[in-house]
Structures are given as structure tokens and as C-alpha cells.
Amino acid sequence: MHMQATCVFSLRSRHRLAFLAAASLLFAPPAGAAEVKRNDLSAEDITRVEHITRPTTDFSKPERYEAMPGGAATSRNPVNPDAFSHASANLAFSEEENFKLGNALFRKLWVSSPSSTQASDGLGPLFNARACQNCHLKDGRGRPPEGNADATSMFLRLARPARTSEERQAVTDLKVVNFPDATYGAQLQDMAVPGVAAEGRVVITYTEEPVTLAGGEIITLRKPQYSVADLNYGPLGIDTTLSPRIANPMIGMGLIEAIAAADILAKADPDDRDGDGISGRAARARDHRTGELKLGRFGWKAQNASVRDQSSSAFAGDLGISTPDTPRHWGDCTEAQEECRSMQNGVQTRLGNTEAPDPVLDLVTFYSENLAVPARRDVDAPEVLKGKSLFYGAGCIACHTPKYVTRRNAANKAQAFQLIWPYSDFLLHDMGEGLADGQQVGDATGREWRTPPLWGIGLTDEVNGHTFFLHDGRARNLTEAILWHGGEAESARNAFASMTPEARQHLIRFLESL
């Protein structure tokens, strides 16, 4: 198969068909993967795409273009702490200004109202961070609070289960994703503007659990327990669940949105018809502006369908800033928090009807869509190739799908028809009781999580100065992260645990090269 040296399929095509609406697929699940086809491609293109995205069986050398995980958008900049903060390499010159403006807004510190800054006020009144960058430090991965670190890049989601048949139906219909705590809302806010009391703080205690691996190696896993302290508005609801979440890396998000919904849905096997023990499910999510049901792709439980929806949720929940898509001036303040609800907001009517009116959300979304995936390192190193073979052989790619070719008709040409390597199926999987948070979020149960993409995972320490992984950062390294896998991933986890120590190191070395 011929591909240009830029790692991008030719963008010139007479076959620019309308993109297959995700909602129509979600409401009529296919009987089998073979029945799910893309309609943005010609028959010839489909054959090419199926060929190039087929998992390799040759581990003697790197695959063609494997070193460019983001296709032509891949960043070739030097590896350093800014490795996640570069623009897509193929971004049009005319769009660079929007990227830089979005970057400035992403780093912007919001302040409480009223303020002489005007366009920067509206923070909170209750909040978890003053800027997007505070959670996604250097556009990278968050961490749990320990040592001298604070809880800025980690917070607790709060939710209770449905109590009535009407509430259960509302979740089924995705009129709501769950029900927040009546007093404290959808997440615990550990900061507040002057004159308002913060809600409380997260408390984490760990117990150590030794695991013996093949070859006699003993790994200690730390099992967290979560509680809250210093609650300032009374007790939590008796059935409120606590789900810790660290901030996800920001790279490659526009490319993820450009993956054809058909390619993700084709991998769903909710009834495990093939009997492999893997039953990934597609999550549905409602578009914040239209209410249309779409394929969920973003967030730990795939609760958002687009980068824009993910961004507006963060503005409202994390910063307490209203946007045109989520116009809650009071953020996550509940009706039980009267003082919070009554405080002055930051709306400047000459600029718009929300605290972050257009084009603020537009620019932050554009920035988030165009943060480049860094180039791979050492793809031809013998130990990396051995580790890749072991990763594939252990069955890890049953969930961590290596590669896709994005839609020809993606909204931005920088993301269109690119061969990308995110290593994720973006589906929901039961990860076992060990990782269960007991909290339903839309279609995701209390045991299910979206498969996170792995690209850039090997640069976590370089960018963020730590190696904490999984949704709550409990894993202190990649080995621990793998050993926490259960449920549908238990077979792959056991395959890793039964490898020789040298083989395990090869597999980890492969992950570090991503």
C-alpha cells in the first residue's frame, strides 16, 4: 500500500460522502462487526484502510509510519517537559493564531466577581482550580495529592444511584447521567472565593497488598480508600458515592474526535458473541448544544461526545465559569448552598450572556483539539520490538486497539484521513471489582471505564514529574497499572504476571516508547 512520506493519506478525493451519523448507529446496534461500514470512504479506500489498520504479526521491525502516532499532526519537537504543548505539525498557518489564543485562555487565571479585570471574573464561587492549566499541568496527566502536592489535578465526583423507576428511566434515556448529591452537587469543591466556605477536602488512605509474579518478583499494590473531611455544608447523602478522577492528558483529542464512529462501534461486542471474554460497550452522550445522542469518546467514563463538550463541562464543574453550552454562572453550587447561588457572577453583558462567552470556548476547544501527539522513541530498539510482540500476544490489543485512519471529512484538515496510533478502542469495559467506583455515569456502570489511549504515556515523568496512572493515580508505575487490571482485562493481566521478569521489562519498555 502506498502512503506519502508525510504519514497522511492524500486529502484530495472525489469520495467525500456524508459522515455516518453516530446516533443512527447507536440506536440500531449492528448484529456483527462486519456489518458496520464507514460511508466517508470509497470501496477502494475501505480496502486500503482495513489493510493498513490490521494488527501486525511481524515484530522483526517497526511498522511503516509507526514512529508518527499522530500522523502528519505528530510533533517532532525535542523531548522535554513541554512535549505535550506543541500544536499539530500540519496545522494551517492561518490557524496558528487561534491555537496561541486558545493556549492563553487555557492558562488564564480566573478571579472572583466583581473585579476590575472584568473579562476574567466569574470564578466559582466554589471551584477546584483557577485555570485549565492548573489541572492539566503542561497539558499532561494529573496526580493524587501526596507529599507536597495539592489536590488541584484530582477531585471527587459525587453521585447517588437512581431511587425510583422514573429516575432509572431518566438515566436509561440519558436525560441525566446520574444524580448529584443534594447538598454538594456533582463534585467536591475544595476551594472557594472570599466570603464562601469551601465544601471540604478529600482524604485518601492506602493499604499495601503484595502480589507475587513469575520468577519470584514481589510487587506491592496500594489500595486506596476515599473519604471527605471538613465538610462545611452538612453531611453527604447516605447513598452518595465518591469517585476520584485525575486529569487526563490533552494530546491528540482532535484526532480522537476524527475517528469514524463506525470504526469504534465495529469493535463493540456487548454480549461477547465471539467468546473471548471481552465485551466492550459503546457509550452514548448527549451533545450539550443540541441534545442529540452521539458516541461518547471523552472522559474516564466516555460521558462526553466532543472536545467542546468536555471543555464546557470542565469550565462549569472545575472553574465555576459559565459558557454558552453550559450556562451555569454558579458552577456546581446547589440550591442548598444559598450563599453561593446569591453571589455576583462575572457576566459582562457587553461581551455576552455568560462568563466565558464566545469566542472563549471556541478558542479553548480549538487549542485542545490541536495539541500534538509526540513522535515515538526507539521504535526499532530490539527490546521495544520484543515488548510490542508480548503486548500483542498477551491480548492487550483486544481493548487497546493500536491504530485507525481518521475520517476524510473531519472538521479540520489537520485531522482528516490520518493514520494514527492511540492504542484504545474508546469503549466501556468492566475492569473488575478492584477498580470499581460504584458510580454509574450514563451508560457506564460502576465497574466500567473507557479504555484510555496510551500514546504519550511513556513521557509522563518527563512532562509531569511523576508516574501515577489509572483513574485515581493509585498505580505508581506502569507495572502496577497493569496488575490492577481485572474483569475483562484479567486474562491479559495474568499473562503479564506469568511472564519472565525479562519479558515483563520488555513489555514495559514498549509502553515507555509510546
55-65 per-position pLDDT tens digit: 999 999 999 99
Whether the bond into 359 is cis, omega within 30 of 0:
yes
Per-residue pLDDT band for 148 (boundaries 50, 70, 90) equals low
Give the separation between CA 208 and CA 220, rounded to whole angstroms: 6
88-107 per-position pLDDT tens digit: 999 999 999 999 999 999 99
In the chain, where the domains are located: 22-91+261-282+370-512, 94-251+306-355
291: cell is: 441534545
Q: How far is CA 212 from CA 352, 464, 476, in A?
A: 59, 30, 17
pLDDT over threshold 70, residue 444: yes
User: Are the C-beta atoms of residues 395 and 417 closer than 8 Å to each other?
Assistant: no
pLDDT over threshold 60, residue 362: yes
Per-residue pLDDT band for 165 (boundaries 50, 70, 90) equals very high
Q: In the predicted model, what is the mean pLDDT of residues 507-514? A: 98
Instruction: Give Cβ neighbours of residue 7 (< 8 Å, ≥ 6 apart).
Output: 65, 68, 71, 72, 74, 418, 419
What does the pLDDT read at residue 474? 97
User: Are the C-beta atoms of residues 199 and 190 closer than 8 Å to each other?
Assistant: yes
What does the pLDDT read at residue 35? 52
What does the pLDDT read at residue 30? 38
437: cell is: 467506583
Q: In the predicted model, what is the mean pLDDT of residues 114-135? A: 90
Q: What percent of the chain has pLDDT over 90?
A: 87
pLDDT over threshold 80, residue 282: yes
206-248 per-position pLDDT tens digit: 999 999 999 999 999 999 999 999 999 999 999 999 999 999 9
Give the separation between CA 106 and CA 104, rounded to whole angstroms: 5
What does the pLDDT read at residue 28? 47
pLDDT over threshold 80, residue 149: no
What does the pLDDT read at residue 326? 94
What does the pLDDT read at residue 360? 96
440: cell is: 454509574
What does the pLDDT read at residue 127? 95
User: Which amino acid does the sequence have at 470?
Assistant: L
pLDDT over threshold 50, residue 502: yes
What does the pLDDT read at residue 494? 98
pLDDT over threshold 90, residue 2: no
Q: In the predicted model, what is the mean pLDDT of residues 67-90? A: 98
Q: In the predicted model, what is the mean pLDDT of residues 287-305? A: 97
**Cα 80–chain centre separation:** 22
405-416 per-position pLDDT tens digit: 999 999 999 999
What does the pLDDT read at residue 36? 65
Q: Which residue has the cell 523531548?
A: 79
Per-residue pLDDT band for 117 (boundaries 50, 70, 90) equals confident
What does the pLDDT read at residue 402? 98
3-36 per-position pLDDT tens digit: 333 344 333 333 333 333 333 445 444 334 445 6
pLDDT over threshold 60, residue 1: no
Q: Of 414, 47, 435, 471, nearest to 253 (Cα)?
A: 414
pLDDT over threshold 50, residue 265: yes
365-389 per-position pLDDT tens digit: 999 999 999 999 999 999 999 999 9
Q: Which residues pair with 296 in a beta bridge?
A: none
Give the DSSP H or E segment for 105: helix 96-107
User: Are the C-beta atoms of residues 367 and 105 closer than 8 Å to each other?
Assistant: yes
What does the pLDDT read at residue 9? 39
Give the separation between CA 322 and CA 309, rounded to whole angstroms: 13
